[in-house]
Structure 1
Amino acid sequence: MERTGHLRVPGATLYYEVRGSGPALLISQSGEGDANRSDDLVAQLVTDHTVITYDRRGLSRSVLDTPGGKASVAQHADDVHRLLAALTDEPVTMLGCSLGAVIGLHLAVAHPGLLTTLVAHEPVAPWLLPDDERARHVRELVEIQDVYEREGLAATFAQVARVLGIDPHHQDTEPDLTAQPMTPRRAENFAFFVRNDFTAVVDDALDLAAVAALKDGGPRIVPAVGRATPHAVFDHRCAEELAALVGADLVEFPGGHNGNTTHPRAYAATLRAVTR
């Protein structure tokens, strides 16, 4: 099965794609990634999963009713809730990458019956961290926004890579990956991501007790990190704190923060292993 569609949600219209057959798996992307960010990974999964991907509101084909409008992480999670309600009557597995992982945690707390398992790969969630770390990383995110406004896209990429522990010049990848050039649409997505979603992450909060309670009756939470992600950086630390909070082992996936795009074959194999 392969189809695309649009769904009206409060304040926006969401674009989505449904591919493959089998149990439903929703992928919520990282950064400026839209429904096609993980096409190489999706190609590995469609033989035994019905894979749902979508453009977050404000990205690509998911258009805001009010141009220049904003979105909170909770609003992104409500969009996923409405999308799943429109597409399936059964709970699904969710892979959330970076910001997508935080969206998944909001969804798990607000609508626990929608998910069977959430694989939360390196959630960018300052609220998971001790106060001193949280304040430091919030400052980093705000500084990156300032760099974007002052110096533009290229300088911002370098800062994002530093904060997330990505070495773009020495990054191991699998062969024959689909190219992801910096098209005008992707540049527009990146602008929305930095200007809106960084602020959404900084302002975001979830009750730690509510997240911890998921281990006693909510969907299974699988905190995940990239094998190549340095242990001291923001995203790895958030995953460590999540693992401690929900009483789960930290699972290593191939690659680093963007292992879903750099190692799609090995990433798919690991995803199958931890969700079966």
Structure 2
Amino acid sequence: MTTEPTAPAAARTLAVPGATLHYQVEGRGPVLLLAQSGEGDADRTVDLVPHLADTFTVVTYDRRGLSRSVLDDPAAPVTMADHADDVARLLAEVTDEPALMAGFSMGAAIGLQVAARHPGALDTLIAHEPVAPNLLPAGERAEHTGELLHIQKVHAEGGMAAAFPAIARHLGIDPAHDPAEDGLTPQPMTPRRLANFGFFIATEFTAVTTDGFGPAEIARTAATAGATRIVPATGETTRPTVHTYRCALALAELLGTEPVVLPGGHNGNTAFPRATARTLKAVLGVDRYRP
């Protein structure tokens, strides 16, 4: 897997049906796309990227509707298929070979659909705690979907001040007290970030809860010759009762494998970027890409 050398931190745009995507490229080596969780845009993993760019061409992007990835029609719905198509087009723009992808939460759910909908786009997908209710048994699926719908209701009635505690409970996180590595770049709650949260809850939760993609499509994809290598992953400190954690376990069971454990909890990729980079390199097999 190769790609042309790139200048550090190059920011670019790509026109796709219904939107214009903002993306960033840093490093050199095989392409590794980082697909963010929640409201995260291309800048969410600013502390992680430098620890990967010595080995990979790291691509980050703003999902359509977030930050600098502008929708042609802001009122139009956004589907999981839209997100998967965006990733496939973005990867085709930066490499002509199957890419690597590490997806976190929403990004992991998108990655699973890329693997199924766009054969050949991905070599390996690390799927960390995907927000994918359809992976769960019926009872747990209803609970997971119900929590997402409850957060939407709380947000519609009380705004982000009411939604934040509900999201934290849903994911088992405590932003004020969860441990993290030293020297992290501050991530203040700016107006842009608040707007991203609002879009995530109001629009993308609906994309997740109304999507029919599930175990059958993943199993069919995994059984295809030359299919994407899918690596389920959990957070080391995520509570086992968290639904996204259980989605990762269900994915691992479906694929007949054991989940990889990444540092920290659901947001461990931002709280522990150095340790996360080391683990990602180990899982992806850095030696495969050395000259």
TM more than 0.5: yes
Match of 2:159 among 152, 158, 161: 152
- Contact persistence 2:135–2:214 (CA under 8 A): no
- Partners of 1:227 and 1:273 lie apart in 2 by 16
Aligned to 1:91: 98
RMSD: 1.0
CA drift of 1:86 comes to: 1.4
Match of 1:166 among 173, 194, 197: 173
Aligned to 1:14: 21
- Contact persistence 1:226–1:253 (CA under 8 A): yes
Aligned to 2:121: 114
Identity of aligned residues (%): 56
Alignment of 1:1-276 (within 5 A): 1-2=7-8, 3-216=10-223, 217=225, 218-276=227-285
- Partners of 1:11 and 1:166 lie apart in 2 by 34
Moved more, 47-56 or 203-212: 203-212
CA drift of 1:207 comes to: 4.2
| Structure 1 stretches of 4+ moved >4 Å | none
3-state SS, counterpart of residue 178 of structure 2: coil
Moved more, 80-89 or 54-63: 80-89
Gap regions ≥5 residues in structure 2: 1-6, 286-291
- Partners of 1:236 and 1:146 lie apart in 2 by 23
CA drift of 1:167 comes to: 2.2
- Partners of 2:119 and 2:168 lie apart in 1 by 33
- Contact persistence 2:28–2:56 (CA under 8 A): yes
CA drift of 1:43 comes to: 1.2
- Contact persistence 1:214–1:220 (CA under 8 A): no
Amino acid at match of 2:27: G
Amino acid at match of 1:274: V
- Partners of 2:198 and 2:249 lie apart in 1 by 29
Query: TM-score, normalized by length of structure 2?
Result: 0.93
- Partners of 1:158 and 1:273 lie apart in 2 by 35
CA drift of 1:69 comes to: 2.2
Change (3 A) 1:207 1:184: closer
3-state SS, counterpart of residue 33 of structure 2: strand
Aligned length: 276
Query: TM-score, normalized by length of structure 1?
Result: 0.98
